[in-house]
């Protein structure tokens, strides 16, 4: 290092607190750099190209993290420490608060377990409060649908598994646990309005649960059987547009389900892949292989060519479909394998692509497919990317 | 609910009825999972203790991801963490519930039912990551899902590594 | 105990006497450390907000390990973590005690006293690891030791990243 | 994967618990593999070539680990989860118990702090108990001398820093905190007998502290000033042989200090490096650059050629000195940079070498220098290697 010769010796002089000021002659004619006061940053105004990266942290799963980045500058903006077993966070409709389901043990990996939804002020990335929830939060390989939020932001839902399935409901206004709703035989959380959420059932149906204004169970309904969990199961990686959830099967069948009413109404399935493509081994795949852009009504899906059982494999191609016209619009060739994608919500959308095994996030123009930037990690085991 | 699920559910209900410390299982309903085997036979093959016959019948290296039993695993191989394919490393706890796969043994041409119990109570071993998804199903079919942290019913849900335990012979299907 | 230590100790005793929440400092005795600067002047240079004059006087990239101020740092650079060389990332806490180095600024030819405060309360940022040890001393000389987790006096000792704050001009020595 | 075609279909048959046994015809003539009972391993008899690796876990510093390996087989034998901020562990004289200083927060990185010395049964690698100690345990870049153990195994000492220096004394028989001993101005822990430990002081002296049978402070003494902390400071990386500690300076001066009596007696310094070598930039360096073998009276030291301020740099050379004859015996060329070494205690000693930036441990024959084996990590940020 070039400065070694000069700086190696410790000067016998300290100006801590400015109580002592050196009168050593300036070497240059310019005034000396002013003394600085260290401070803590707060975040500037929200940009549509900010994104969150949940880091599962494979080398230290009990010490997970959520990173915030600005895709335009490529800079990291801040981080949250979010306890054991990261899935995803929920965010307030105005992105002013981050709701993070977290798990802690009194001795790190042992002792008393405490699960929380922790409330972070997004502007300061500091804790505003926490709701202690039942210590049954589902964990494992991260899934987006392990939690959800009511459309109005009033309630956050957290998936439990013991292995019995239930959902912890948290009131975001009172920052308190509201109720636990059993969803026997049905897993994951797909919000369906301001006071309801759905869960996927092993018999090929969708259960829809309505809660009251206190977060307690009000009533339930169940869709007709709309997929065959043996012949061609749908994955947990669904996307929502308006009042419709779009579930995607291993073989790339899209199953739309209308959730406007309490009883979910399945629509007509359509296919992302042709019969020829399926035979050639094309499959949808990845930890979070689907994303949607509301403005353009476009569905983004990662495709690989690894054949059967490739539903978790990453791919180097993102296909873009018009979801209303059920047709392929274009294909984006990625510069690196991706298993996880997200698309910003604005009119100049960015496509974020990453993979748990690659400590980097790749930023593309979602419209042209151009690769704009690579943001090197850490995060070292990026799981879900989330957009404000 | 298919036949497989019915079997698992029925079995588990029997255990739940017999085992008070597993009372949580009684609540599991449709979403029930596979169950760790109770003592049946001594373990035939431990790492480094195999006989030539064993190797012929149970070929491959349990510390490698391509070992036949790992056809539906997703996790760290206990064989690389102080355990074997069927034994947890010292100081960990076997998950009493788990997921089930069916893998083809090239040594004898049979398909075997494999129980992928997790070893729990310590943080990730982080060695020999292995992800194979043959027959893996989504989480709403938990008995077949390797995404789930099966330490969910242990005293700690800290996940350390995964086993691949032979618990039966499947049909040649 | 040399002159440097005596100065630091004396200064810190003055603070300790004035600041009840820093009462722990009074116990520190010989092993006392550098102290974060109280408000003196506005921060002249924040990441991305430098003027040409600033760059001439304060050359280099604060997100790179070879930036002149980092001559005695060991840690993750806050400039890569949502902060700058003199500001902590959002939601972290500045360490009130820290270690001190002396670095040569090639922009104006001066040596500056640098306070390497840690930002605390979140786990490791883990970006831009930087380890330079010019003038670093062992832990029994804590005011000059970059090995210490300087979050030791914060509400949490979780270490996130490190700053390099100009707190004075040193002699050209 | 070759088995995909056969194994892809889930067989509608389960033999869980052996309650249902398949009667499917065997494809081969051999009997089917027997059903297995999963079990938990215990460790076999201690081998002299076992070693512990403390993993600081840079990506998740609040979730540190200690790995146990067998150098002869190259196998990992087990692991401990050891909370935040790993330094090292202490072990019972018979290696039957591992004493681990640990730090926990009720919410991972925040909330209430609890520090412990946790007691692990070495045979089962499970927790036997814990002593809660003052929540002031020193942390940072790991150092061997942040803790110590009395020669008879009765007490474990843990270094505190707030930044005031003190030592927490734990009674291993009662598994309880015994006392906190202030060591103002003196840091680190160098055990000096059954009821005493020393600490290095910033004025160039060594403080020796005697405790009573309850672990409480009995008396203190201080050595004369034996090194110049400005001109050539000694590092914290000292080694002990019999009743002598050997402190090594930045410039490679060895300062022996006899600690037989309460008042430490410095001996005559000698040099690991010649004047020529110093001028050519040779320095001792690394996180744990020194090790000793009692049987051969050999001192092992990592040497680099990075010049001044290189006291923490790794090197590719280990020099071996006869510590009584104060002379270089041989040099071991490493196959990879190392900043940390340890030597097994037996008559066929192994040299273990690693570095925080290299997720692997390299095993050498300590006598011939031959590279015997590379054990690939994880551990991903190996810090101290310790031998039984």
Cβ atoms of residues A129 and A119 within 8 Å: yes
Choice among A11-15, B136-140, B169-173 with the minimum mean pLDDT: A11-15
B131 CB neighbours in chain A (<8 A) are 312
8 A C-beta contact, residue D245 and residue D190? yes
Higher pLDDT: D30 or B12? It is D30
Residue A28 placed within a domain: no
If you measure CA to CA, which chain D residue comes closest to B99? D16
- Give the residue among A364, A363, A352, A358 at the shortest CA–CA distance from A378: A358
pLDDT band with cut points at 50, 70 and 90 for residue C56: confident
**Within a domain: A340:** yes
Integer Cα distance of A193 and A177 in angstroms: 19
pLDDT at D69 over 80: yes
Q: How far apart are CA C76 and CA C165, in angstroms?
A: 15
Tokens of B173: 């299907």
Best interface-test mutation with C: which of D202, D234, D236, D308 has the largest number of C CBs within 10 A?
Answer: D202
CB contact under 8 A, B38 and D37: yes
Architecture of domain B55-172: Sandwich (2.60)
**ipTM score of complex:** 0.90
pLDDT tier, C44 (very low <50, low <70, confident <90, very high otherwise): very low
Closest chain A residue to D103 measured between Cα atoms? A107
DSSP, collapsed to helix, strand or coil, labels residue C152 as helix
Cβ-based contacts of C86 with chain A (< 8 Å): 36-39
Gap between the Cα atoms of D143 and D133, Å rounded: 19
Q: What is the DSSP string of A255-268?
A: EEEE-SSSS-EE--
Q: Could you tell me which chains touch chain B, where touching means 3 or more CB pairs under 8 A?
A: A, D
Domain count of chain A?
A: 2
C-alpha to C-alpha distance for C72 and C135, rounded to whole angstroms? 6
Tell me which chain C residues have a C-beta less than 8 angstroms from the C-beta of D103: 157
Widest pairwise Cα distance in chain A: 85
Which one, of D176, D78, D180, D168, lies nearest residue D129 by Cα? D176
pLDDT at A29: 74
Rounded Cα distance between D314 and D301, Å, is 11
Could you tell me if D304 and D328 lie in one domain? yes
Say what the pLDDT of residue B171 is: 63
Q: How many CA atoms lie within 13 A of C86 on its CB side?
A: 25
What value does the mean pLDDT take over residues A356-384? 96
Model pLDDT for residues C113-167, shown as the tens digit of each residue = 999 999 999 999 999 999 999 999 999 999 999 999 999 999 999 999 999 999 9
Is residue D8 pLDDT above 70, yes or no?
no
How near does any CA of chain A get to the CA of C118, in Å?
Answer: 10
Distance CA D385, CA B53 (A): 39
Enumerate residues 112 to 151 of chain A having a beta carbon within 8 A of any beta carbon in chain B. Answer: 113, 136, 138-141, 143
- Whether the bond between D379 and the residue before it is cis, its omega within 30 degrees of 0, is yes
Contact A193, A187 (CB under 8 A): no
Q: Do chains B and C touch (3 or more CB pairs under 8 A)?
A: no
Same-domain status, D115 and D202 = yes
C-alpha span between B15 and D14 (Å, rounded): 15
- DSSP SS3 for C5: helix
Q: Is the pLDDT of residue D109 over 60?
A: yes
**pLDDT band for position D27 (50/70/90)?**
low
- How far is residue C11's CA from residue C32's CA, in Å, rounded to a whole number? 10
Q: Does A61 touch chain D (CB under 8 A)?
A: yes
N-term to C-term CA, chain A: 42
Q: How many contiguous H segments (helices) and E segments (strands) does chain B have?
A: 2, 11
pLDDT at C3 exceeding the cut of 90:
no
What is the C-alpha to C-alpha distance for residues A250 and D326, in angstroms, rounded to an integer? 71
Distance between CA atoms of residues D75 and D69, nearest Å: 6
Span A7-59, pLDDT tens digits: 222 222 232 323 333 444 445 578 999 999 999 999 999 999 999 999 999 99
- Least-confidence region, from A78-87, B89-98, C17-26, D320-329: C17-26
Taking any CB pair shorter than 8 Å as contact, residues of chain C touching chain D are 1-2, 5, 24-25, 27-33, 74, 97, 121-124, 126, 129, 131-142, 146-150, 152-153, 155-159
Phi, psi of D258 (to 5 degrees): -80, 125
- Same domain as A182, residue A171: yes
List chain D residues with CB under 8 Å of A313. Answer: none
Answer for the pair B157, A84: CB distance below 8 angstroms, yes or no.
Answer: yes
* E strand or H helix that includes residue D176: strand D176-182
Question: Burial of D60 by CB count in 10 Å (0-12 exposed, 13-18 middle, 19+ buried)?
Answer: buried
Least Cα distance to D16 among B14, A163, B38 occurs for B38
Q: Of B58, B74, B99, B136, which is the active-site residue?
A: B99
User: Which of A243, A270, A297 finishes a domain?
Assistant: A270
SS3 D145: helix
- D20: pLDDT strictly greater than 60: no
Q: What is the reported pLDDT for D30?
A: 85
Which of C58, C118, C136, C150 does the annotation list as catalytic?
Answer: C118
Contact between D83 and A59 using a beta-carbon 8 Å cutoff: no
**Residue A132 belongs to some domain of the structure:** yes
Beta pairing partners, A252: none
Mean pLDDT of chain A: 93
Instruction: Tell which residue, D105, D53, A109, has the closest CA to residue B160.
Output: A109
Token duo for residue C42: 């506005």
Is there a domain that residue D36 lies in? no
**pLDDT tens-digit readout, D176-201:** 999 999 999 999 999 999 999 999 99
Lookup: tokens for B2? 């298919």
Closest CB from A3, A34, A377 relative to C44: A34
A136, A166 contact by CB (below 8 A): yes
Do D302 and D226 share a structural domain? no
Task: Please name which of D165, D159, D161 lies closest in space to residue D191, comparing C-alpha atoms.
Answer: D159
Q: What is the mean pLDDT of chain D?
A: 93
Ordered DSSP codes for C74-137: EEEBGGGTTS-SSEEPTT-EE-SEE-EEEEE-TTTS-EEEEE--EEESS-----SEEE--TT--
Residue D27 lies in a domain: no
**For chain B, domain boundaries:** 3-40, 55-172
**What is residue A290's three-state secondary structure?**
strand
Q: What is the DSSP string of D187-251?
A: EEEEE-SSSEEEEEETTS-EEEEEE-TTS-EEEEEEPPP-S-TTTSPBPS--EEETTEEEEEBTT
- Whether B54 is catalytic is no
Residue-level length of chain B: 173
CB contact under 8 A, C134 and A65: no
Please give the C-alpha separations between residue D65 and each of A220, B125, C13, D54, D381, in angstroms, as whole numbers: 46, 9, 38, 6, 10
Q: Give the CB-side neighbour count of residue C70, counting CA atoms within 13 A.
A: 27
Residue pLDDT, tens place only, B36-51 = 333 222 223 333 333 4
Kindly state whether residues D95 and D214 are assigned to the same domain: yes
Q: In the prediction, which pLDDT does A129 show?
A: 98
User: Mind listing the pLDDT tens digit for each residue in A290-321?
Assistant: 999 999 999 999 999 999 999 999 999 999 99
Secondary structure of D296-325 in HEC code, one letter for each residue: CCEEEEEEECCCCCCCCCCEEEEEEEECCC
Rounded to an integer, the average pLDDT of D17-36 is 61
Average of per-residue pLDDT across D208-226: 98
Q: What is the pLDDT of residues D346-384, one digit of tens each?
A: 999 999 999 998 899 999 999 999 999 999 999 999 999
What pLDDT is attached to residue C45? Answer: 35
Residues D64 and D126 in one domain: no
- Is pLDDT above 60 for C36? no
Query: Nearest 5°: phi and psi at A274?
Result: -80, 165
Q: What CA–CA distance (Å, rounded) separates D298 from D280? A: 25
Nearest-by-CA chain B residue for D30: B108
Q: Which residues pair with A65 in a beta bridge?
A: A55, A81
CA dihedral D255, D259, D261, D265 (to 10 degrees): 0
Nearest in space to D87 (alpha carbons), one of D327, D287, D343: D287
Q: Are residues A62 and A87 in the same domain?
A: no
pLDDT digits 0-9 by tens, D243-279: 999 999 999 999 999 999 999 999 999 999 999 999 9
- Give pLDDT, residue D357: 84
Chain A contact present for D135, CB below 8 A: no
Structural domain harbouring A255? 82-270
Predicted local confidence at residue D28, as pLDDT: 54
> Is the minimum CB–CB distance between D370 and chain C shorter than 8 Å?
no
Angle, CA of D60, C24 and C26, to the nearest 5°: 140
Check whether residue A367 and residue A298 sit in a common domain: yes
D80's tokens: 């401990």
In this prediction, residue B85 carries a pLDDT of 98
Tell whether A42 is covered by a domain.
Answer: no
Give the residue numbers in B contacting A (CB under 8 Å), as ranges: 1-2, 5, 24-25, 27-33, 74, 97, 121-124, 126, 129, 131-142, 146-150, 152-153, 155-159
| Same-domain pairing of D231 and D339 | no
Residue whose pair of structure tokens reads 């883990």 in the numeric block = C126
Query: What CATH number corresponds to the domain at position A157?
Result: 2.130.10.10
**What does the pLDDT read at residue A358?**
85
Q: How far is A287 from chain B (nearest CA, A)?
A: 10
When mean pLDDT is compared over A323-332, C3-12, D14-23, the highest value belongs to A323-332
Could you report the per-residue pLDDT of A180-206, keeping only the tens digit for each?
999 999 999 999 999 999 999 999 999
The catalytic residue among B58, B74, B108, B118 is B118
Closest CA to D236 of D334, D326, D165: D165
Q: What pLDDT sits at residue A35?
A: 96
Cβ-Cβ contacts under 8 Å for A340 (sequence gap 6 or more): A286, A287, A288, A289, A353, A354, A355, A356, A382, A383, A384, A385
The 10s digit of each residue's pLDDT in D275-314 is 999 999 999 999 999 999 999 999 999 999 999 999 999 9
Q: What is the pTM of this model?
A: 0.88
Of B5, B126, B140, the CB nearest to A200: B140
From CA A4, how far away is CA C106, in angstroms rounded? Answer: 12
As given in the structure block, the two tokens for residue D115 are 């520090």
Q: Among candidates D35, D10, D13, D36, which has minimal Cα distance to D24? A: D13
Active site residue C118: yes
Same domain, A227 and A292: no
Element (H, E) at A187: strand A186-191
**E strands within chain B?**
34-35, 74-76, 87-88, 93-94, 97-98, 100-104, 111-115, 118-120, 129-131, 159-162, 165-170
Over residues A273-296, the pLDDT tens digits come to 999 999 999 999 999 999 999 999
Candidates C15, C76, C90: best to mutate against A (most CBs of A within 10 A) is: C90
Domain shared by A64 and A174, yes or no: no
Across the interface, whether the CB atoms of B167 and D36 are under 8 A apart is answered yes
pLDDT at B138: 97
End-of-domain residue from the set D215, D241, D270: D270
Split at pLDDT 50, 70, 90, the class of D29 is: confident
Residues D263 and D300 in one domain: no
- Give the burial class of B40: count Cβ atoms within 10 A of its Cβ; 0-12 exposed, 13-18 middle, 19 or more buried: middle
């Amino acid at each position: 290092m070039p400065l070694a010769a000069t700086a190696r010796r410790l000067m016998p002089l300290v100006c801590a607190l400015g109580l002592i000021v050196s009168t050593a002659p300036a070497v240059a004619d310019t005034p000396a750099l002013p003394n600085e006061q260290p401070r803590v940053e707060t975040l500037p105004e929200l940009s549509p190209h900010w994104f969150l990266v949940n880091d599962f942290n494979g080398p230290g799963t009990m010490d997970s993290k959520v990173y915030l980045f600005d895709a335009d500058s490529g800079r990291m903006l801040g981080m949250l420490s979010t306890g054991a077993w990261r899935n995803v966070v929920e965010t307030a409709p105005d992105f002013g608060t981050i709701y993070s389901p977290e798990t802690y043990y009194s001795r790190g990996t042992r002792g008393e377990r405490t699960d929380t939804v922790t409330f972070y002020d997004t502007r300061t990335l500091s804790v505003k409060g926490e709701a202690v929830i039942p210590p049954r939060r589902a964990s494992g390989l991260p899934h987006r649908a392990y939690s959800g939020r009511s459309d109005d932001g009033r309630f956050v839902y957290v998936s439990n598994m013991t292995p019995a399935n239930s959902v912890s409901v948290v009131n975001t206004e009172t920052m308190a646990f509201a109720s636990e709703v059993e969803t026997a035989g049905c897993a994951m959380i797909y919000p369906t309005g301001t006071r309801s959420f759905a869960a996927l059932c092993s018999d090929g149906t969708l259960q829809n649960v309505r809660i009251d204004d206190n977060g307690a169970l009000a009533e339930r309904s169940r869709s007709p059987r709309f997929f065959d969990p043996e012949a061609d199961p749908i994955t947990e990686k669904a996307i929502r547009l308006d009042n419709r959830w779009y579930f995607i099967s291993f073989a790339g069948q899209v199953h739309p389900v209308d959730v406007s009413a309490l009883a979910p109404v399945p629509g007509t399935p359509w296919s992302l892949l042709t019969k020829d493509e399926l035979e050639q081994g094309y499959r949808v795949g990845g930890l979070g292989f689907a994303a949607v852009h509301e403005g353009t009504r476009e569905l983004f899906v990662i495709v690989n060519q690894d054949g059967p059982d490739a539903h978790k494999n990453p791919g180097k191609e993102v296909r873009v479909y018009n979801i209303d016209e059920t047709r392929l619009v274009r294909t984006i060739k990625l510069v690196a394998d991706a298993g996880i994608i997200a698309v910003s919500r604005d009119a100049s959308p960015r496509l974020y692509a990453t993979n748990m095994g690659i400590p980097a996030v790749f930023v593309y123009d979602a419209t042209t497919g151009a690769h704009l930037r690579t943001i090197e990690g850490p995060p070292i085991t990026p799981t879900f990317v989330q957009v404000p | 609910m298919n036949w497989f699920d019915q079997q698992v559910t029925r079995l588990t209900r029997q255990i739940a009825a017999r085992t008070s410390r597993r009372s949580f299982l009684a609540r599991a309903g449709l979403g029930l999972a596979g169950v760790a085997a109770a003592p049946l036979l001594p373990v035939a093959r431990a790492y480094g203790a195999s006989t030539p016959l064993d190797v012929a019948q149970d070929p491959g290296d349990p510390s490698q991801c391509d070992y036949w039993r790992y056809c539906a695993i997703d996790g760290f191989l206990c064989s690389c963490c102080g355990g074997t394919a069927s034994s947890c490393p010292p100081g960990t706890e076997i998950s009493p519930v788990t997921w089930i796969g069916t893998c083809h043994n090239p040594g004898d041409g049979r398909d075997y039912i494999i129980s992928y119990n997790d070893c729990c109570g310590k943080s990730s071993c982080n060695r020999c990551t292995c992800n194979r998804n043959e027959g893996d199903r989504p989480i709403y079919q938990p008995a077949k899902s390797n995404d789930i942290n099966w330490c969910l019913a242990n005293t700690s849900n800290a996940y350390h590594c995964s086993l691949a335990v032979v618990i039966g012979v499947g049909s040649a299907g």
